[in-house]
Amino acid sequence: MRDTLVLNASFEPLSTVSLNRAVVLVLTDKAVVEHAHPDLRVRGAAVDLPVPRVIRLCRYVRVPFRRQAPWSRRGVLVRDQHRCAYCGRRATTVDHVVPRAQGGGDSWLNTVASCAEDNHRKAARTPEQAGMPLLFQPFEPTPADAMLLAMRASERSELPEWLAKAAA
């Protein structure tokens, strides 16, 4: 079953939880539904409510430290909105800015989305060596970004506009 995004009382994205957990938080008055699925409902013996997509905690939770977003190829493609960092066309591969052969690693700051053609053309060279400047600089997503990256694109596009903007 799909996950529900949990916001802090301050509206900052905190985590995702299972639908069951989200329903329990709402039914026990620990959270309120901020955004619900338009068509789906949770029905049980004593329950009938729209499937929550986004819930917000009633009490502010202090986040002790900011976790780093784990790197993934899929995350890089989503972060760069599937746009090639070299030509701006649709990207399906991930390129290492500093190639692995030259010591570049799998990290947010060393990887960009790339079309297969440019990835092949650049080969084991840096953008300078290949004469292929980056159209944009790679960046490290915040944990809140990472949470949204973890959601499927179809789910993200259904988020309320204010939240999609806050997370963009």
By CB under 5 A, name the binding residues for Zn ion: 84, 86-87, 115, 118
78 in the Ramachandran plot: left (φ > 0), alpha (ψ -120 to 50) or beta? alpha
Residue 154 Cβ, how far from Zn ion at the closest point, in Å? 25
Residue 146 Cβ, how far from Zn ion at the closest point, in Å? 25
Nearer of residues 67 and 90 to Zn ion, judged by Cβ:
90
Nearer of residues 16 and 114 to Zn ion, judged by Cβ:
114
Tokens encoding 160: 């309320």
Q: Which of 61, 15, 23, 27 is nearest to 40 (CA)?
A: 23
Nearer of residues 63 and 135 to Zn ion, judged by Cβ:
135
- SS3 at position 168: coil
Residue 65 Cβ, how far from Zn ion at the closest point, in Å? 37
Nearer of residues 41 and 73 to Zn ion, judged by Cβ:
73
CA-CA distance, 144 to 18, in Å (whole number)? Answer: 17
Please give the distance of CA 112 from its chain centroid, rounded to a whole number: 15
